[in-house]
Structure 1
Amino acid sequence: MSASAANLRTLVLNADMQPVSWAPLSIWSWQDALVALLKGRVYPVASYDDIVVRSANRSFEVPSVVALKAYHRRKTLAFTRYHVFLRDEFTCQYCGHKALAKDLTFDHVTPRSKGGQTVWSNIVACCQRDNLLKADLTPKQAGLKLRRQPFEPTPFQLDMIARRIPQANNELHKTWNDFLYWDAELER
């Protein structure tokens, strides 16, 4: 196996042939996918062309897409910075500026010093400028207005947002496209 193959990843589909998660995209290392395949937990859907791994007495194609045999329903979401940014569509909830995750921070709508908690309903994505402007004040005290009240999203809501955000083409293998963009307009 070549050194470049060591970094290959496998798209994981649910039993309904949709990604288990869009936020973030459900991806395993090819090694984890091959182990799951050998243990009978997943079906192979697609493999990388001309990439094979060998054991002492067998050869295996490296899976690029696998599907779970049993449907997996996500009930809860981890409360993470990425999920807050995704819920807010990488947009400052005060000025509306879209930014990369590295250029965003999160803001306590009601500051911690005023009893605000670090929970879904009190945290929003915020640009650096507005975060400094708001400081330890409420939005009203700082002369800012929230574009949308923060809320705890469902896994379905986050997945729908994530589907609208384009993936960098270099992150996606060509065998994944058929499973990621069912609702995309076909090329003519």
Structure 2
Amino acid sequence: MAAIASGDGLNAKVLVLNKFYAAIRVISAKRAFSLLVRDAAEVIHVDNGQYINHDLTSWLEVSDLARQFEPHAHDWVRTVRLEIAVPQVIRLLGYDRLPDQQVKLNRRNLFARDRNKCQYCGRSFPTSELSIDHVVPRSQNGPDTWTNLVCACVKCNARKGGRTPVQANMRLIRKPIRPKRNPLISIKLGSGKYETWKAFLDEAYWSVELR
């Protein structure tokens, strides 16, 4: 196969399963094709509820048909000679580990859980204009936990200061919770483009971050 040359599809996201079909992570299409070229993985194509396994050679044949009949249903990458559809799901052939069940507590996941929305005024902001607020302030022994941390805009955070919402006469728009699934994945599932992921994620709670 010719080396992958270019295409916005290289940045598309691909769901990775272990050899027992358990979802373990999300990677870039570039990384996925690297695994396929080395025969370390195969494509899992979901068609009318049926799982169809493809090695890279047969996936190239599927790509030829997809380009003719459903080009808008896929992301694409281009080599010197070929256009290849980006698979939405691949399965690692020799990896049998299960993912960590704990969702990592970090800024990116907090912003994703709260969907970049200030949890006091309810307005959406870019991440550069958001901060992390302790509902019960550190000065009052508030912990660094999912249930005590929320996104807040600069204005609301300054207004609240070192007080609880009750003390500041402010109200949270929703109660902060620990997500069962990586909140970044929940955002992806809101797009019809990643509809096929649901078959592998509905029963899975997993936490590997997008890379």
Instruction: Mark yes or no: TM-score above 0.5.
Output: yes
State whether residues 96 and 147 of structure 1, in contact with CA within 8 Å, keep that contact through their aligned partners in structure 2.
Answer: yes
- The more displaced of 108-117 and 147-156 is 147-156
State whether residues 77 and 86 of structure 2, in contact with CA within 8 Å, keep that contact through their aligned partners in structure 1.
Answer: no
Higher relative contact order (CA 8 A, sep 6+): 2
Q: Could you give the per-residue CA deviations for residues 102-160 of structure 1, whole angstroms, max 9, x where no partner exists?
A: 22111000111111121111100111110000111111111111122211111166633
Give 1:89 shift: 2.3
- With the length of structure 2 as denominator, give the TM-score of the two structures: 0.59
Gaps of 5+ in 1: 54-59, 167-175, 184-188
Name the % identity.
28
Give 1:8 shift: 2.5
State whether residues 117 and 125 of structure 2, in contact with CA within 8 Å, keep that contact through their aligned partners in structure 1.
Answer: yes
1:13 and 2:15 are equivalent in the alignment: yes
Corresponding residue for residue 57 of structure 1: none
CA distance in 1, matches of 2:182, 2:105: 15
Q: Given the alignment, which residue of 148, 151, 157 partners 2:174?
A: 148
- Indicate the SS of the match to 1:68: strand
CA RMSD across the alignment:
3.7
CA distance in 1, matches of 2:148, 2:86: 40
CA distance in 2, matches of 1:162, 1:13: 11
Corresponding residue for residue 104 of structure 1: 130
1:27 and 2:49 are equivalent in the alignment: no
Q: Could you give the per-residue CA deviations for residues 16-51 of structure 1, whole angstroms, max 9, x where no partner exists?
A: 999866xxxx33261x32332244332146664541
- Indicate the SS of the match to 1:150: coil
1:136 and 2:148 are equivalent in the alignment: no
Where does 1:9-158 land on structure 2 (aligned, <5 Å)? 9-15=11-17, 26-28=26-28, 30=30, 32-44=31-43, 48=76, 50-52=78-80, 64-65=86-87, 67-69=90-92, 73=99, 75-155=101-181
State whether residues 74 and 155 of structure 1, in contact with CA within 8 Å, keep that contact through their aligned partners in structure 2.
Answer: no
Give 1:97 shift: 1.2
Paired positions, count: 160
CA distance in 2, matches of 1:97, 1:152: 21
Gaps of 5+ in 2: 46-58, 64-75, 198-211
State whether residues 11 and 19 of structure 1, in contact with CA within 8 Å, keep that contact through their aligned partners in structure 2.
Answer: no
Corresponding residue for residue 201 of structure 2: none
State whether residues 9 and 27 of structure 1, in contact with CA within 8 Å, keep that contact through their aligned partners in structure 2.
Answer: no
- Indicate the SS of the match to 1:145: coil
Sort the Cα spacing of 1:158 and 1:62 in 2 relative to 1 into closer, same or farther, 3 A: closer
Give 1:64 shift: 2.6
State whether residues 120 and 152 of structure 2, in contact with CA within 8 Å, keep that contact through their aligned partners in structure 1.
Answer: yes
